[in-house]
Chain A
């Protein structure tokens, strides 16, 4: 039985704004097992970043309301006091952010920013921490780390900064590494390197990874499980193989159809999902994807639960009322463009 490190259970995150209540995360559940990589995929505004930041309590504020549970090794991080939670941040669970250009403080040396994370959680001398920083920079592939450790962030390129951010996140040998769109702001050639680096280091550091992205291609290589999020909910959740080879939710089909493929005949144009994500203040009734779904029918006015409709083990969950047979028939046409709405 694999050890479950993180258990997010029916998480709701609502923000009170002047325009109304934003249901950023609306009942999200997933489990992260030791040594595994969970990919959370969805477009902007699907709630994936809010979910990940809420795990570390970074979304707390006067206007934020939380429900559900975030259990890390049987402790609920969601209700934990701020000062207690701080012992977990960066130490047990560390995070890498989207934009390495702005995620480092421009006025401090890269090495000092790594050292800051180390000495926050460990009682070690500055020198020891600094040596570790050099070592970490070497591990993430920064050349001449003993010199670059004294550089300022602006002296690093974007890819190097993201490597340094990874070094910073791994500084305390965390159990879980959350990477929130770690490659979105980078050149395509660098993207693959960064993903590969995360994949390699998770083994070196014996960490589990939550990889958040809007790009299914990014998780294709490294993820073990994939959760597809839409409008604050998980719409499909299963192993990578299940989600890629037997996708059940029309939204997932749309995402898969929008990836350019070299191994198939070139379509006239890439398919796209028609329409835009719904406002998180006025969500549509029933299935949240209904207004954009080419296969919607009467029953979709009712909200579908997340169920193992394929009846597989390990479970392959989705939120679509269509029968598995209907889905398999409609799917091929949707993904390959002919029936795109």
Chain B
């Protein structure tokens, strides 16, 4: 197992290096021309551009540029100067509490309700409750987050002032307000996942129920509830772990761009959205690496979790 962890860790670093390299390539191959011109702005003189090109090292060969960028990234200095004059690392740091709060809360909600919906729907398969749940799940999956978010904000926070109208209050500042401000974003973000996880789990459960080992458990006289939890659910949840690992990684890595933007949470996702809108390359590289780190990290976690959950793939 230790060797497995070490191997997986080395692989994880390799993947990050490759990702960083591809992100870096954006600078060189992206259409729209010279990054120096883009950074210099509309009214730049020739001299400005030349200076920027020299200061940023765009006149160096690409591998030197790559090396410089990585050095800066790991010395906590990635592209000190941006439009706001605040470093990318600091910007991301500022967004992390909001992003993490959103991701963790929403994940708890979608996991709880997703499993609940899946189990109820599978156990009443074919009956009215299952059909109703299926209908709602499909609606949930089909609703775009920005549309649902805007509706929720308009009807629940603006027309009726039941909820605060966007924004983020740090947990350390006021836990009650933190919770209150995040409630709507949590549910809006979770809706899609609840529907999706519910559908996937329902299918898994209905497949697993017909497994021979479930019949064996019933033939042993094991009580239905125990058969359901220990034999059916235990095995049905294994694929959900993969889904959850990757979805959670995407959201915690700033992937909830739409939710963060609609509710004005000033998280990493919103920062990414602004940077993309402004075609601001340094932050794009920053948030991409940030997101990639979580994806890679959580895929490794998923592998470990799999090894724990399924003895067949446990390395010996």
Given contacts A58-B218, A91-B221, A117-B221, contact A106 B311 (CB under 8 A): yes
Residues 249-277 of chain B: 1 if any A CB is under 8 Å from the residue's CB, otherwise 0?
00000000000000000000000000000
B12 contacts chain A at the CB level, 8 A cutoff: no
Chain A residue, CB-CB nearest to B211: A102
B contact set with A: CB distance below 8 Å: 211-213, 215-224, 230-231, 234-235, 238, 309-312
Contact yes or no, B311 A107, CB < 8 A: yes
Cβ B220 vs Cβ A90 within 8 A: yes
A121: Cβ under 8 A from any B Cβ: yes
Complex alpha-carbon distance, A88 and B234, angstroms = 26
- Bound Cα distance A165, B212 (Å): 12
Kindly list chain B residues whose C-beta atoms are within 8 Å of the C-beta of A168: 216, 220
A106–B213 CB distance below 8 A: yes
Flag if A107 contacts B212 (CB, 8 Å).
Answer: no
Contacts of B238 in A (CB 8 A): 107
| Residues from chain B with Cβ under 8 Å of A104 in the complex | 213, 216
Kindly report which residue of chain A lies nearest to residue B216, judged by CB atoms.
A103
For B212, give its contact among A82, A90, A94, A103 (CB under 8 Å).
A103
> When the two chains form the complex, which single residue of B220, B223, B310 contacts A106, counting CB atoms closer than 8 Å?
B310
B234 A107 Cβ-Cβ under 8 A = yes
A89 to chain B: which residues have CB within 8 Å?
Answer: 218-221
* Min distance, Cβ B68 to any Cβ of chain A, angstroms: 50
Bound together, the chains give a CA A90 to CA B310 distance in angstroms of 26
Contacts of A113 in B (CB 8 A): 216
Whether, in the assembled complex, A244 has its beta carbon less than 8 Å from a beta carbon of chain B, the answer is no
**A102-B220 Cα distance, complex, nearest whole Å:** 16
Q: Bound complex: CA of A218 vs CA of B236, how far in Å?
A: 37
Q: A95-B219, A120-B220 are in contact. Are A152 and B213 (CB under 8 A)?
A: no
| Contact for B215 among A97, A106, A116, A117, CB less than 8 A | A97
Q: Could you tell me which A residues sit within 8 Å of B by CB distance?
A: 56, 58, 82, 86-91, 94-95, 97, 99, 102-107, 113, 116-117, 120-121, 152, 154, 165, 168
Tell which of B213, B216, B231, B309 has the most Cβ of chain A within 10 Å: B216
Contacts of B310 in A (CB 8 A): 106-107
Interface of chain B: mostly helix, strand, loop or mixed? helix
Alpha-carbon gap, A90 to B220, bound state (A): 4
Contact of B312 among A56, A103, A106, A165 (CB under 8 A): A106
Given A107-B235, A107-B309, A107-B311, A94:B219 Cβ within 8 A:
yes
Contacts of B230 in A (CB 8 A): 116
Residues of A within 8 A of B309 (CB): 107
Interface of A (DSSP majority class)? loop
Shortest A150–chain B CB gap in Å is 11
Residues of A within 8 A of B222 (CB): 90, 116-117, 120
In whole Å, how far is B314's beta carbon from the nearest beta carbon of chain A?
Answer: 8
A152 to B308, CA, bound (A): 13
Other CB < 8 Å A-B pairs besides A97-B216, A104-B213, A116-B217, 14 of them?
A56-B219, A58-B218, A82-B224, A86-B221, A86-B223, A89-B218, A89-B219, A90-B220, A95-B219, A105-B217, A106-B213, A106-B310, A117-B222, A120-B220
Tell me, rounded to whole Å, the shortest Cβ–Cβ distance linking A62 to chain B.
Answer: 8
Tell me whether A105 and B235 are in contact (CB under 8 A).
yes
Bound-state Cα–Cα, A116 to B220, Å: 8
Residues on B with beta carbons closer than 8 Å to the beta carbon of A87: 221
Q: Which 10 A-B pairs have the closest CB atoms?
A: A89-B221, A90-B220, A90-B221, A102-B212, A117-B220, A105-B213, A152-B311, A103-B212, A95-B219, A86-B221
Q: How far is the CA of A89 from the CA of B270 in the complex (A)?
A: 59
Q: In the assembly, what is the distance between CA of A205 and CA of B309, in Å?
A: 36
Cβ-defined contact, B212 with A152, below 8 A: no
Q: Closest Cβ of chain B: how far from A48's Cβ, in Å?
A: 16
Complex CA distance for A99 and B215, rounded to whole angstroms: 12
Q: How far is the CA of A340 from the CA of B190 in the complex (A)?
A: 68
21 chain-A/chain-B pairs, Cβ below 8 angstroms: A56-B219, A58-B215, A82-B224, A86-B223, A87-B221, A89-B220, A97-B215, A102-B211, A102-B212, A102-B213, A103-B215, A105-B216, A107-B235, A107-B311, A113-B216, A116-B217, A120-B220, A152-B312, A154-B312, A165-B216, A168-B220
Asked if B212 and A99 make an inter-chain contact with CB atoms under 8 angstroms apart, the answer reads yes
What CA separation (Å) do A102 and B213 show in the bound complex? 6
Report A60 CB to chain B, min CB distance, Å.
10
| B220→A97 contact, CB < 8 A | no
Closest chain B residue to A89 by CB distance?
Answer: B221
- For residue B205, give the distance in angstroms from its CB to the closest CB of chain A: 15
Report A-chain residues with C-beta under 8 Å of the C-beta of B216: 97, 103-105, 113, 165, 168
Bound-state CA distance A102–B217 (Å) is 12
Shortest Cβ distance from B224 into A: residue: A82
A154 to B312, CA, bound (A): 7
Q: How far is the CA of A58 from the CA of B217 in the complex (A)?
A: 11
CB distance from A198 to the nearest CB of B (A): 16
In angstroms, Cα B220 to Cα A197, docked, is 20
Residues of A within 8 A of B213 (CB): 102-106
Closest chain B residue to A94 by CB distance? Answer: B219
Complex contact A105–B221 (CB within 8 A): no
B150 to chain A, nearest CB (A): 44
Residues of A within 8 A of B224 (CB): 82
- Per the bound structure, the CA–CA distance linking A95 and B230 in Å amounts to 20
A104 CA to B212 CA in the complex, in Å?
7
Closest to B316 in A: A155
Q: Which residues on the B side are within 8 Å of A82 (C-beta)?
A: 224
Given A107-B235, A107-B310, A152-B312, verify A97-B218 contact (CB < 8 Å).
no
Cβ–Cβ < 8 Å partners of A90 in chain B = 219-222
The residue in chain B whose Cβ has the minimal distance to the Cβ of A178 is B219
Assembly CA distance A255 to B251 (angstroms): 63
Chain B residues contacting A154 (CB-CB under 8 Å) are: 311-312
- B212 — which chain A residues lie within 8 A by C-beta? 97, 99, 102-103
Separation in Å of the A68 CB from the closest CB of chain B? 21
